[in-house]
């Protein structure tokens, strides 16, 4: 399952998009400590194809996806 999210990102002079912060909700903002890897990859849990960013957030590796103009993360299906 996927959750669409808002992301603050920068675009470099050569057009590379780098995420800086995840806006999970109005009150929860997570700063991305480091982008470890960027590759074209499908989301196995959430569907969609685009860029998969492997990021370190609070010391934990997480995947962040950019599918055309939409940012999302994979989440577990609620019970």
Give the model's pLDDT for residue 76. 83
Cα-flanking dihedrals φ and ψ of residue 21, to 5°? -145, 145
Average pLDDT over residues 53-57: 97
Whether 79 has a pLDDT exceeding 70, the answer reads no
* Mean pLDDT rounded to a whole number for the chain: 92
Q: What's the CA gap between 39 and 30, in Å, rounded?
A: 22
- The residue behind tokens 């055309």 is 68
| Tens of pLDDT, residues 22-46 | 999 989 999 999 999 999 998 877 7
Q: What's the predicted TM-score (pTM) here?
A: 0.89
Tokens of 55: 């990021």
- Residue 69's SS3 state is coil
Give the model's pLDDT for residue 67. 92
């Amino acid at each position: 399952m996927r959750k669409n999210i808002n992301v603050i990102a920068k675009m470099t002079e050569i057009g590379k998009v780098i995420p800086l912060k995840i806006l999970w909700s109005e009150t929860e903002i997570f700063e991305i400590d480091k982008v470890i890897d960027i590759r074209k990859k499908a989301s196995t849990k959430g569907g969609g194809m685009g860029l998969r960013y492997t990021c370190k957030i609070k010391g934990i590796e997480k995947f962040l996806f950019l599918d055309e103009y939409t940012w999302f993360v994979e989440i577990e299906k609620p019970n």
